[in-house]
Amino acid sequence: MRRVILAGLVLCKIIFTTALYAQENGIQSLTTDSFKKEIFNYEDPVWNYPGNKPAILVFTTSWCGPCQEMISTLKDILPVYSDSVLFYSIDTDENAELTSFLQVKNVPTTLFIPVNGPPRNAVGAFSKDIIVRAIEEVLLVKTE
């Protein structure tokens, strides 16, 4: 019984720390409702991103090690791109309807969302160099 309680406490700490970590480091955590407002209202059949800056959106879970690596990598590059790219995350366990609609089958899954045009997705955790290349080639954002 003690092991079950201890495991529950550890899981709660991981979930709380992950949510706090993402928000404290400039990565905004989205829900299904905020996704519809900030990224795409999927009730409309035509993709229309309302943002005025390109965005990176990572689908994660609190129990996924590679997801936490991806968040850490985004945190590392965020200071360089925070003026030109928006950074978001979505917990797939807490937003099952959205995850199902977008057919996210694996985590982490990352959407690179340009201001104009459809998003591009990539599955897995990526190095800083690969993310920077995607920012430059897909989102068309260059550092000065």
How open is the CA angle 50-54-59, to the nearest 5 degrees?
A: 90
Positive/negative CA dihedral, 87, 68, 103, 92? negative
Instruction: Please give the Cα distance from 128 to 134 (Å, whole number).
Output: 10
> Helix, strand or coil for residue 32?
helix
Q: Is 12 among the catalytic positions?
A: no
Catalytic residue from among 55, 64, 102, 135: 64
Catalytic residue from among 22, 55, 57, 67: 67
Cite the active site residues: 64, 67
